[in-house]
Amino acid sequence: MNTETDQQDAEHISEETISKTLSLPQFYPLSTSSKQKLKQIQPQSKTTYNDRFIQPYLDEIKDSIMESISIQLEIAAQKFQAGLIDENTYNEIKNIIYKDASSTDYTEGIRDAFNQYSLSSDAYSLFLTAIFKKNSQTLDISNLYDYVSNEKELLKNNPNSQKTLIEDFQFNFDNLSSQNNSPLKKEIAKVSNNLQQFIFISVYPENPLPSKLTNDGNVDDDDDDLEVEGGKVNLTCPISREIFVRPVKNTNCPHTYGLDALKIYLRSSRECPECGVAVSLSDVRADKIMEVRVKCYNRDKKLNELIKDRFVDETDKL
């Protein structure tokens, strides 16, 4: 019996076994504590993201658009007053400004930002759901060899069966990106349509919105000419009979009032002065559209004062 040879064989087997046992896996199962930490890392809801980032950005865009339109109108009024353009040209300025402003895509960056965040949020939710559905064993030294062996077999039969956390998230993101996300597209269309409404009102504060801008955001991009419907929007408060100041809209009916006038009115009545439905301070919300109309109406009123003498001169020439 060769004791030395047997001892060497035993050492060789022992080293080989240890080597296999201590072979490290390519992918590690998440521990319970790691899963809980992942669960706590939740992205902001889409509503919160919209309120904190998208809406403030939209407000900045709207302010810039209104300022640009106002500057262009003021320059046109000054040119008309100085006799550099005739009345027909001046009267056509608003249509030119509107066509230019409405054809500019101000929402491209917003669409991309909201789209990326929405897809990332949904992909993360799917990613978490998949993680918590897996009943992965707790990995320790006693089952390491079996785990590595099973992992190798899985990877051999299906190379895509194991993914890193990043790969798993990216897989969900790419899969969602390839789908026709109708709810998201509708949400983005509403944002775009809201901006188009704002542009129209900024140029034509007393005109009612054309039907194509009130049709749930389904704006026909191929139609270059917007049909302006007849009549004018009443910008006077039904209580004070003066131009709206701090307009608020009744959520129980379609009527708008000046806030200060409404507060005085509510001392003696709790019914809408226009239709008789209930009204209280808790029933009203700021009428953002009317605020824009009034602001731009007052702008146009000042410009009309600037050029009124020129209109008199043009009339005298007839």
Cα–Cα distance measured from residue 122 to residue 103, given in angstroms and rounded to the nearest whole number:
32
Which letter, b or e, does each residue of 67-76 get, where b requires 16 or more Cβ atoms within 10 Å of its Cβ? eebbebbeeb
Would you give the distance in Å from CA 6 to the centre of its chain?
A: 75
Q: Which helix (H) or strand (E) holds 1?
A: none
CA distances to 52, 99, 198, 310 from 69, rounded to whole Å, are 27, 11, 11, 22
How far apart (Å, rounded) are the C-alpha atoms in residues 75 and 77? 5
Q: Give me the residue spans of the domains in the chain.
A: 13-233
pLDDT at 222 (0 to 100): 38
Contact (Cβ atoms closer than 8 angstroms) between residue 291 and residue 299:
no
Q: Which two tokens stand for residue 231?
A: 């009549």
Q: Which pLDDT score is estimated for 310?
A: 73
Query: How many CA atoms are closer than 13 Å to the CA of 310, on its beta-carbon side?
Result: 20
The reported pTM is: 0.68
Contact 265, 283 (CB under 8 A): no
Cross-strand pairs, 243: 236
State the pLDDT at residue 227. Answer: 43
Beta-bridged to residue 108, according to DSSP, are none
Contacts of residue 58, Cβ cutoff 8 Å, sequence gap at least 6: 110, 191, 194, 195
Give the model's pLDDT for residue 204.
96
pLDDT at 177: 80
Q: What is the pLDDT of residue 273?
A: 95
With a cut of 70, list the residues of the chain below it in pLDDT: 1-30, 134-145, 147, 151-152, 154-164, 181, 215-230, 311-318
**What are the structure tokens assigned to 232, written together?**
């004018």
Residue 138 pLDDT: 67
